[in-house]
A and B are shown apart, each in its own frame.
Chain A
Amino acid sequence: MVMKALSADHAVAWGVRLAKAEVIPAFPITPQTLIMELLAEFISNGELDADLIPAESEHSVMSVAVGASAGGVRTFTATASQGLALMHEMLYAVPQNRLPIVMVNVNRTLGAAGGIWAEHNDSMPERESGWMQVYVEDSQEALDMTLQAYRIAEDERVLLPVMVCLDGFILSHTVEKVEVPEQGEVDAFLPAFVPRSSLDPSEPVMMNPIVPPEYTTEMRYQLDRAMDDSRNVVHQVDEAFKAAFGRGYGGLIDEYMMDDAEFALIVLGTAASTARAAVDELRAEGRKVGLIKLRFMRPFPHDELRRACSGLKALGVFDRSVSFNRYGPVFTEVSGSLCGSGVPITDHIGGLGGRDITVRDMRKVFSLIEASVEEGKVKRVYWHGLREAKG
């Protein structure tokens, strides 16, 4: 193990190098580009034996990735925002063909009223695509989850693609201390990829044919089961990782101060660090608050959340994107999981377009969660830091 000062983008590139990805189609987009640039450097210095394929668009990037993964090699790519949107069509070709591609999406605003800063409205719509989705909080987790993602994706019981999501700039460009494991340790944790079936003329297979209605339901069901079964694998891989490297992340969710908590907040990505600091302050003041870091949006931790939230007086959800249907997507998902649990839930929308979220903001979020019981306010939505137009 060596200690390095790395941004999350560079930490990811180190993860990909250690995972020995073989085909890496790429197209530049801020704030992802640092990943591809460092990988290109590794390859041109002979430190990574891989094909970096500079495709002419992100649609083609994912198309190259599908071809390469179907061709039976470990495949990596990364994108953000508009690039992910351009890939949208091709994302759907991956899970149903059970191709274990790993992709990093550096979260960034998508479309109009957006710049290049963090927001989750690029990756949230893709949770319906059949990709697993994990959101990370710091550079170390970015590197570690790149490694874990391959082991999860390539597990025979899973064979699904994994999208590792990390907040643009807040994380992608912020340099932190990162433990970079030794190649030997990684090789022991992550064996070489052996495809279950692939495009090889010595054993011809047909992949992704036209499927008549007689079979579609069954194929969708198999995919849904694979996603559900991946929960156990996520936990097992996290434990194996902890045994090998001494760091574990809790699997689908990571609970903080939840044992005796009466009020809790669910949050994903970098905002978890801010919320944790707020929990520390509030606990010191004697308030019984806790934090659930939602790590995986797919598979969604329905059972884990029901267990973790049972007995709470009230729950809040922090959404870094909006569905333009009153609530944010995480709130809607959490509400579905906790339906009938009786726990009142409020939605807290904030950090849009990369706007800062401070510990003070998070303290306010907790106060509103506490108040939601007293006032009997259920399923209210708060926009944090909103400057409402006057007149």
Chain B
Amino acid sequence: MTADEISTIKEMPNNDYFVSGHGACPGCGVAIAVNNIMRILGSDTTVYVPASCLIVFSALYPTSAFRTPLLFTAFENTGAVITGIKAAQRRRGIEGTVVGIAGDGGTFDIGLQALSGAAERQEDVLYICVDNEAYMNTGIQRSGSTPFGAWTTTTPVGKVTQGKRQMKKDVMDLVIAHDPEYAATLSIAHYNDFIRKVEKAKHKSGFRFLHVLTPCVPGWRTEASKSVEIAKLAVETGMWTLFEYEEGEARSTYKPHTMRPVTEYLHMQGRFRHMDNDDLNTLQRWLCAKWYYHYGHDVEQPACAIYNGEKELHFDGDPLHGV
């Protein structure tokens, strides 16, 4: 680690390359993540942003929230465009990070092919997915990233079905299948871990992938002041896990003390308020399996203990209503 590397929040520079004045909603997780990522990546950075909330709130001609070079073209091509930029800059002797910052739709779904292409070719680029778990820019439609049960405008709460019926796609597994140079999950609530991972990604060369959970106020139906708290609860309940992958191995970078019931996380978000006990059970069970996969038996999991004892989970009444 060199002297100018940042490892904790105290060492964070206050030199912004993603500046205020942009049009994100108050409390936007994407804006929080990108602002901090850009502080760490610094001035030698070239940014590509595909169609998403981020491009719309940060690059309305003639203004730009980025103080670095910025390009936008389309929705599904982040992996490819950053490949081209890097090839040109390498040939011209320009050093620095070429980064693509895409939403979950632009990464999990329509952009998956270009992502896979860039990862397979082992392009020397940084790909960051800011994951707000739906197509937010077009008004909250479900994506491959939307969690089970969540309301979106295309997974409405109707008489026959309520919310999304499928589980969240595991895009990290897909990326890791390409054996990238580096891949990590980040949370806007786990600051030092966040900084360390962005730093690491910045200083490595080869294909690097960062996946950040970015709460969305209107899309998740939350309070603007709660975004960081929600991101924290995501980790404590297992809805988000913090780990990194390098040199062929994945390891947890943060282990919660005990697993909190998922309802604590769902409770804070209007998008889950309709979920009935069956759906809550289904989600909790899925989370328990995921929890063992990530943490083994190292961490206490009272919620799963009930499940393991082959007792059905029972939530008191209808805990989410009234959020």
List residues of chain A with CB under 8 Å of any chain B CB.
22-23, 25, 51, 53-57, 59-61, 63-73, 75, 89-90, 93, 198-202, 204-212, 215
Chain B nearest Cβ from A224, distance in angstroms = 19
Asked whether, in the complex, the Cβ of A201 is within 8 Å of the Cβ of B43, the reply is yes
Q: Which residues in window 228-257 of B have CB below 8 A to A?
A: none
Assuming A67-B82, A71-B87, what are 18 further A-B pairs, CB within 8 angstroms? A25-B80, A55-B83, A55-B117, A57-B117, A60-B83, A60-B117, A63-B74, A64-B84, A64-B87, A66-B84, A67-B84, A70-B85, A70-B88, A71-B85, A71-B86, A200-B46, A201-B96, A209-B62
Question: Given A51-B91, A206-B59, are A199 and B71 neighbors across the interface (CB < 8 Å)?
Answer: yes
Asked whether, in the complex, the Cβ of A210 is within 8 Å of the Cβ of B56, the reply is yes
Report the nearest B residue to A215, measured CB to CB: B61
The residues of B that contact A53 with a CB separation of less than 8 Å are 83-84, 87, 121
B135 within 8 A of A: no
Asked whether, in the complex, the Cβ of A67 is within 8 Å of the Cβ of B81, the reply is yes
Asked whether, in the complex, the Cβ of B114 is within 8 Å of the Cβ of A56, the reply is yes
Q: How far is the CA of A56 from the CA of B67 in the complex (A)?
A: 32
The residues of B that contact A64 with a CB separation of less than 8 Å are 80-81, 83-84, 87
Asked whether, in the complex, the Cβ of A23 is within 8 Å of the Cβ of B88, the reply is yes
Asked whether, in the complex, the Cβ of A206 is within 8 Å of the Cβ of B66, the reply is yes
Report the nearest A residue to B57, measured CB to CB: A210
Asked whether, in the complex, the Cβ of A200 is within 8 Å of the Cβ of B94, the reply is yes
The residues of A that contact B35 with a CB separation of less than 8 Å are none
Asked whether, in the complex, the Cβ of B82 is within 8 Å of the Cβ of A200, the reply is no
Asked whether, in the complex, the Cβ of B60 is within 8 Å of the Cβ of A23, the reply is no
B153 within 8 A of A: no
B72 within 8 A of A: yes
Contact of A56 among B56, B73, B113 (CB under 8 A): B113
Q: How far is the CA of A209 from the CA of B51 in the complex (A)?
A: 10
Query: Which secondary structure dominates chain B's binding surface?
Result: mixed
Chain A nearest Cβ from B203, distance in angstroms = 16
The residues of A that contact B90 with a CB separation of less than 8 Å are 51
B6 within 8 A of A: no
List residues of chain B with CB under 8 Å of any chain A CB.
43-46, 48, 55-56, 59-62, 64, 66-74, 76-77, 79-92, 94, 96, 113-114, 116-117, 120-121
Question: Given A53-B83, A212-B60, are A207 and B70 neighbors across the interface (CB < 8 Å)?
Answer: yes
Query: Which secondary structure dominates chain A's binding surface?
Result: mixed
The residues of A that contact B80 with a CB separation of less than 8 Å are 25, 55, 59-61, 63-64, 67
The residues of A that contact B116 with a CB separation of less than 8 Å are 56
Asked whether, in the complex, the Cβ of A73 is within 8 Å of the Cβ of B117, the reply is no
20 pairs of residues in contact across A and B, judged by CB atoms under 8 Å: A22-B91, A23-B91, A25-B80, A51-B90, A53-B84, A60-B113, A64-B80, A64-B84, A65-B84, A67-B81, A68-B87, A73-B87, A198-B88, A201-B94, A208-B71, A208-B72, A209-B55, A209-B61, A210-B55, A210-B61
The residues of A that contact B113 with a CB separation of less than 8 Å are 56-57, 60
Contact of A204 among B62, B68, B83, B89 (CB under 8 A): B68
Q: Residue among A53, A56, A63, A90 with the most chain B CB within 10 A?
A: A63
Report the nearest A residue to B51, measured CB to CB: A210
Asked whether, in the complex, the Cβ of B92 is within 8 Å of the Cβ of A59, the reply is no
Contact of A71 among B56, B61, B67, B88 (CB under 8 A): B88
Asked whether, in the complex, the Cβ of A209 is within 8 Å of the Cβ of B87, the reply is no
Question: Given A60-B117, A201-B69, A210-B59, are A72 and B83 neighbors across the interface (CB < 8 Å)?
Answer: no
Asked whether, in the complex, the Cβ of A201 is within 8 Å of the Cβ of B68, the reply is yes
Asked whether, in the complex, the Cβ of B84 is within 8 Å of the Cβ of A209, the reply is no
Question: Given A64-B84, A64-B87, A199-B85, are A207 and B121 neighbors across the interface (CB < 8 Å)?
Answer: no
CB-CB nearest 4 A-B residue pairs: A67-B84, A71-B88, A56-B117, A63-B80
Asked whether, in the complex, the Cβ of B85 is within 8 Å of the Cβ of A60, the reply is no
Q: How far is the CA of A59 from the CA of B115 in the complex (A)?
A: 13
Asked whether, in the complex, the Cβ of B92 is within 8 Å of the Cβ of A73, the reply is yes
Chain B nearest Cβ from A46, distance in angstroms = 16
The residues of B that contact A89 with a CB separation of less than 8 Å are 74
Asked whether, in the complex, the Cβ of B45 is within 8 Å of the Cβ of A93, the reply is no
The residues of A that contact B117 with a CB separation of less than 8 Å are 55-57, 60
The residues of A that contact B71 with a CB separation of less than 8 Å are 67, 70, 199, 206-208
Asked whether, in the complex, the Cβ of B68 is within 8 Å of the Cβ of A67, the reply is no
The residues of A that contact B45 with a CB separation of less than 8 Å are 201
Q: Residue among B56, B74, B81, B82 with the most chain A CB within 10 A?
A: B81
The residues of A that contact B88 with a CB separation of less than 8 Å are 22-23, 67-73, 75, 198-199
Asked whether, in the complex, the Cβ of B89 is within 8 Å of the Cβ of A208, the reply is no
Report the nearest A residue to B42, measured CB to CB: A201
Report the nearest A residue to B82, measured CB to CB: A67
Q: How far is the CA of A54 from the CA of B88 in the complex (A)?
A: 15
Chain A nearest Cβ from B111, distance in angstroms = 10
Q: Residue among B80, B89, B114 with the most chain A CB within 10 A?
A: B80
Report the nearest A residue to B95, measured CB to CB: A201
Chain B nearest Cβ from A280, distance in angstroms = 48
Chain A nearest Cβ from B152, distance in angstroms = 23
Contact of B76 among A59, A65, A211 (CB under 8 A): A59
Asked whether, in the complex, the Cβ of B76 is within 8 Å of the Cβ of A71, the reply is no
Asked whether, in the complex, the Cβ of A63 is within 8 Å of the Cβ of B81, the reply is yes
The residues of B that contact A22 with a CB separation of less than 8 Å are 88, 91
Asked whether, in the complex, the Cβ of A93 is within 8 Å of the Cβ of B60, the reply is no
Asked whether, in the complex, the Cβ of A63 is within 8 Å of the Cβ of B77, the reply is yes
Q: Residue among B66, B73, B83, B90 with the most chain A CB within 10 A?
A: B73
Question: Given A201-B96, A206-B70, A209-B72, are A67 and B85 neighbors across the interface (CB < 8 Å)?
Answer: yes
